[in-house]
Amino acid sequence: MKKKIEFMKWAEDLFPINRSITGDGVKQTFNYIRKNIGSNFKIRKVKSNKSFYDWKVPKEWSIKDAYIMNENGKKICDFKNNNLHIIGYSQKIKKTLNYKNLKKNIYYLKKQPNSIPYLTSYYKKSWGFCMKYKDFKKINRKQKYKVLIDSKFFNGHMNYAELVLKGKSKKEILIVSYICHPSMANNELSGPLVVSALPKVLKSSKYTIRLLLIPETIGAVAYIKMNYKHLKRNLIAGFNLTCVGDKGPFTLISSKEENTYADKIAFRVLKKTNKFKKMPFLKRGSNERQFGCQNLGLPFVTICRTRFKDYKQYHTSEDNLKIISEKNLRLTLNNIVKIIDEIQKNTIFCKNNICEPFFTKYKLMRTIRNKFSKFEKKISDISAFADRNYDIEELSVKTGISYKETEKLCLLLKRKNILFEFK
């Protein structure tokens, strides 16, 4: 019997874990998911220093402790109290500093004095602490401070998790989220929670479904490099999930072209939701930057509630469990399932030949005519638009032909070997 969906219980357990693009936090998170949510996820790994296109996997990072202590022995900034206090991938340090030198490595948000900012330095060695601005202002400028960061870098691995629900077809629907942020609920946990819950509600159908949890950016770049031919050959539509646990309206970040099959399906389903928003690729910022890359040409979009960067708690300690809810996560899950079901129930046809078919050869058009008959116009239009970005419903809308007749004509063109089913 499948375990029930308990989004907020999972969120409470996973929230405190110190995740980054590599390290124990990611491994702990995957172990929790496998034990408590989806045991069929396979954990993959990529070696440190391995290059993928323009990027290189950094060394694995581990941190045990980090704090700033004043002359009275009081810790004024403590990683163990909140893992956002440390800049991700900070290098090891043990020094006593005066206020002037300490200040150079402290980061805060003046406009959000009660929030700890989230910062990282993955690809350049550095170190630093993040504090609430109200606490920073209380630091005694006349004292000296003991600064400790107990961290290390080593040749290890970058991990990611993958689960494949095999369908009748090898063609795939890809659902992706990233799993590399510490203690942020909407920006980090909401996407992986929904992706992890999908196997509990999905059944095997026509197309294969691939679920992927990866470190943002470097994880996506590496995955694309390793699976480029497979993605180009088999991807029906891909969807990145991020910031999907708050009460904001569903938001679609379009592909560059704005007319891929992923764009059309997401729009078809999400436009029915309350206050739906559609944003251009100019508003990109998550893994649509990689899977939707300009020269890659994959049908791939991002789905959010309130878009990252558009809510004030984004990338701060205020992005906590209070801004996500069981209700909102379930609503997101339901709509992702609707998107998947919408793809599964439709059929995509593509053309076998290049350029316009010679319809007369197939006895579908008259040799002598002064204009198209209604039938001739319909098969010409369907043939013209049939490709990976148009299922039968899209063809019907585009051509103005009823769904039933569009399906009938597609099957006729398939029998004539003009079209083939994309499967």
Closest C-alpha among 178, 166, 264, 262 to residue 210: 166
The Cα–Cα gap between 362 and 309 comes to: 55
**SS3 at position 190:** helix
Place of tokens 């996506």: 220
Q: What is the pLDDT of residue 1?
A: 34
Average pLDDT, the chain: 95
Residue 72 — very low, low, confident or very high, per pLDDT cuts 50/70/90?
very high
Task: Report residue 213: phi and psi, to 5°.
Answer: -120, 115
368 exposed, middle or buried (CB, 10 Å; 0-12, 13-18, 19+)?
exposed
Residue 25 host element (H or E): helix 24-36
Residue 52 host element (H or E): strand 51-52
Angle CA(282)–CA(350)–CA(268) in degrees, nearest 5? Answer: 45
Contact indicator for 254, 309 with CB cutoff of 8 Å: no
Strands 207-214 and 169-178, by their bridges, are parallel
Question: DSSP letters along 115-139, please?
Answer: --B--B-SSS-B--EE--HHHHTTS
The Cα–Cα gap between 227 and 53 comes to: 13
Q: Structural domain boundaries of the chain?
A: 7-57+157-345, 60-154, 349-421
CATH code for the structural domain at 60-154: 3.50.30.90
pLDDT greater than 60 at residue 150 = yes
Residue-wise pLDDT for 299-351, tens only, equals 999 999 999 999 999 999 999 999 999 999 999 999 999 999 999 999 999 99
Q: What is the pLDDT of residue 293?
A: 82
Q: Which residues contact 94 (CB under 8 A, 6 or more apart)?
A: 147, 148, 149
Closest C-alpha among 213, 262, 259 to residue 237: 262
Contact indicator for 288, 302 with CB cutoff of 8 Å: yes
For the residues 22-41, what does the mean pLDDT come to? 95
pLDDT greater than 60 at residue 2 = no
The total of other beta-carbon atoms located within 10 Å of residue 103's CB is 12
Q: What is the pLDDT of residue 196?
A: 97
Q: What's the predicted TM-score (pTM) here?
A: 0.94
Residue-wise pLDDT for 341-399, tens only, equals 999 999 999 999 899 999 999 999 877 777 789 999 999 999 999 999 999 999 999 99
Q: Which fold has domain 7-57+157-345?
A: Aminopeptidase (3.40.630)
Q: What is the pLDDT of residue 3?
A: 60
The Cα–Cα gap between 258 and 314 comes to: 26
- How many residues does this entry show for the chain? 423
Place of tokens 């063809």: 395
Q: What is the pLDDT of residue 399?
A: 96
CA distances from residue 223 to 38, 47, 158, 213 in whole angstroms, order as listed? 21, 13, 11, 11
Closest C-alpha among 83, 105, 76 to residue 93: 105
